Structure formats: structure tokens, C-alpha cells
Amino acid sequence: MLRNLACACALAIALPTSSHAQHVGQTFGELSAGIATEEEQFSVRSGHGLSGGLGIGRQLSDLFSLEARLGYSSFGAPAEIITPGGCLGRSPCVLPRASDVRITTAGLATELSSAGSGPRPVLLLGVGGRYLTESPERGADLRPYVEAGAGVTVGHCMVRVSYQATAPGRELPKWLMPLTVGYRF
């Protein structure tokens, strides 16, 4: 899927059009996919996974847009490691279990970009809600998050990295950092 998205972006950049830039007042959609990093926990939670998202937004000025975004990230369980010392005398002996982590986010983001054609730098700020499940080690968790990011837009395509932080709690991941390639239509 990531390779298909990258090919679509390369084609969109190469095709001649009158203007790649979004027009003021124009509503747009966005599809993105990539990799993600999260807070790792040895033998319980993997730190690397896959990420995807979709959004709908509006170009409010030449430099500013507002977008509602829905994202999903998935992290497979790492190889389970049994400690040679077991529980070291603790009773009851309950060892941590390797867990799959699934994170769904829904938020509102603003993008500030430079005007003009060619590669344009983009800054991103956002807020939203994050629903996380870590199974079987822990249950589900719903918390607000804040997001900051940066990227580059060329035509309808973009590369973006963002950092999403949430309130700490219950030994669950407190941050997520997706790196995505996207296509805006």
C-alpha cells in the first residue's frame, strides 16, 4: 500500500497541471500511510509499527488550512522473552506478556505552509482524542493528545512527521511519532 501511494505521488508530481496548490476556500481530502514509532517496553511492547490516516479539510488562506483527521497505528507484539530468574522470589509470580498495540486517533489539525510552487515546507499543530488498546497485557485507554509536526508538500503529495503526546497513565505509551507519505485530492 505504501509503495502504491508513493507511485501515485510521483505520478501526480510529474503530470503537468495548471496548479498543484490548493485554492482558498477549497475542500480537500487526504490519504496517508507510513511507519510509526512509540514508547517501547522490553519484551512487552514493540516500538515500531505501521500507520495510516485519512482527513478532510479546507484551505482557509494561501498559507493556512484546517483539517479533521482520523489515524490508525498498529504495533505487533515483540518476541516474548522469559527471564532466566523467573520472578526472583516474588509471589504471586506474574510475568508480563507480549502485547499487540492498536492506536486510533481522531483530531483537528492546522497546517501552515509557504505560498508558491515547488516544494513547500509545512508546520502542523493539532489536538484530539486517542483510543489505545494493548492486548493481552493491559486494557483499553482513551485520552486527549496534542500534536506538532513538520513536512514538505510537493504538488498534491506530502511527507510529514508528527509527534503526538498524551497525558501519562497506567504504563501505556505516552507518545506516538508517525512518519507518513500522503496524497491530497
- Give residue 89's pLDDT: 65
* Gyration radius from the chain CA atoms: 19
Q: Within a 10 A sphere around the Cβ of 88, how many other Cβ atoms? A: 7
| pLDDT value for 90 | 67
Residue 179 parent element (H or E): strand 175-184
What is the CATH class of 2-14+31-77+92-184?
mainly beta
Helix (H, G, I), strand (E, B) or coil at 3: helix
pLDDT in tens, 124-150: 999 999 999 888 777 788 999 999 999
One-letter amino acid of 116: G
Mean pLDDT over 89-113 rounds to: 85
* This prediction's pTM: 0.78
Higher pLDDT pick, 9 / 160: 160
